[in-house]
Structure 1
Amino acid sequence: MKKLLLAFLLISTFGLAAKAQSVEITPITGYTFPAGFNVGGGRAQLEDGQNWGGNLGFSPNSFVEVELSYSYMATRAWTSRIPGAANVDTRTQIHYAMIGANRLFPVSEKATFFTGGKLGTGTLAFPNGDYRSQTRFSVGFQGGVKYYASERIGIRLQANLMFPIISSGASLWWSPGGGTAVGVTGWSPIVQFGFTGGLIFRLQQ
């Protein structure tokens, strides 16, 4: 599955680059707020923290951008008061690899507003090795502004919403109590909201 996803992303990247009028490379960093939710009669939470990553954008015209993105966050995950399960408090890494599109709204030669959505994978990894890494289909939305100081350099500021999808009958990403799964029903209770900013490097075709 991961090899197929990687192959798809590589093929998509070369195809988009060949047709793009401009290409943007944007390293980013920012802040993600805590994501807490009720589950199994108790409480679970992913703590807040700084995120890191990058975007690779391809614009076939002035109003549309196709984008590949990756983000990483180091945080902690915990649960409490879940009947029949021990509490969890463990180091956690969150990875998102996404592909999506933005609608661009140029307001001047220097400023462009944008909004868009993306699809991909979200992975919860545990560096201490106390739980298995889990990967889920994920959906994201973003909106913000780009400001170009020159034809080649700009600044990007945006807000993000990320939704790892947990299907009906699945367990929570981590299973408290040494194998006691926490059931959920049909949708993702995990909603991660944050802000990011980055320096845009624009390559003209």
Structure 2
Amino acid sequence: MPDIKKAGNIPTSMLAVASLLLSAPSFAEVYVAPFGGYSFGASEFNIKSSGVGNLASDEEGELKVSESAQYGVMLGFTTTDPGDIYLLYSHQSTELRTGNNFSPSPITDLDLDYLHLGGSLYFPKGDVKPYVTASVGLTSMRPSGEYANETRFSMGFGVGVAYQVAPSFSVFADARGYATFISSDSTLFCNGGDCLWSISSDIMWQGQVNLGLKLTF
């Protein structure tokens, strides 16, 4: 085991996952699973302008994340349920857009990431393996420009199917939903004491459809 005290600036979450992998039973198979797909259907924030930039302080409207392609990777190990435990990272380069009383044009570019710890349960039928999955973690929203990043707690759930091509190689397709918890009546994307908007939404919902490859070792 590496000396955690000498780990420097390695994120705590990565150390925890490494410990899980190192302490996994001898029968477990470690795997890596890159994937790509499309993110869609992000729910809208109900917002009110805070009077920054070209927005009047009494304007109200809606703000949402645009649909776009995304990609990511899962690292984990199998269990005997049958199932697996994994760390998932997903990245989307997209835009923030407004509606209603605001201009419908994009407001700013946005990088949106999910970092989740999760697990899947499989229902094998020969080489075809339907599964359900759930995860918890963080959503990171990073707008371009001078305004601050936002990181919020989130949960994920999904269904999918994998096909075992070879003993150490399979392909999979799944659909996932993510719920990011946004505190109501708070501010969003601030720079010091200045904030672009105040919001009155509790949860941001977003869906994904993915195709991927799974390599076990």
5 Å matches for 1:105-144? 105-108=123-126, 110-126=127-143, 128-144=144-160
Q: In the alignment, which of 85, 96, 101 is matched to residue 114 of structure 2? A: 96
The correspondence of residues 12-27 of structure 1 with structure 2, limited to 5 A, is: 12-16=20-24, 18-27=25-34
Change (3 A) 1:168 1:43: closer
Cα distance, 1:82–1:8 mapped onto 2, change above 3 Å: farther
The structure with the larger Rg is 2
Residue 148 of structure 1 corresponds to: 164
Q: Deviations over 1:160-187 (max 9, x none)?
A: 1011111344334x369x52432325x3
Q: Which amino acid aligns with 1:111?
A: V
> Among residues 63, 66, 70, which one is paired with 2:85 in the alignment?
66
Q: Could you tell me how far 1:111 is from its partner in structure 2?
A: 1.1
- 1 or 2, which has the higher helix percentage? 1
Q: Which amino acid aligns with 2:77?
A: F
- Following TM superposition, by how much is the alpha carbon of 1:10 offset from its aligned partner in structure 2, in angstroms? 2.8
- For the aligned residues, what is the CA RMSD? 2.5
Match 1:57 to one of 73, 76, 93:
76
- 1:197 corresponds to which residue? 211
TM-score w.r.t. structure 2 length?
0.79
* Higher normalized strand content (fraction of residues): 2
Q: What is residue 31 of structure 1 aligned with on the other side?
A: 38
The size of the alignment, in residue pairs, is: 193
- Retained in 1: the 8 A contact 2:98–2:106? yes
Q: Distance in 2 between matches of 1:180 and 1:51?
A: 26
Structure-2 change in CA distance of 1:20 and 1:195 (3 Å) = farther
**Unpaired segments ≥5 residues, structure 1:** none
C-alpha separation in 2, matches of 1:121 and 1:111: 31
Displacement after TM superposition at 1:78 (Å): 2.0
| Structure 1 counterpart SS, 2:23 | helix
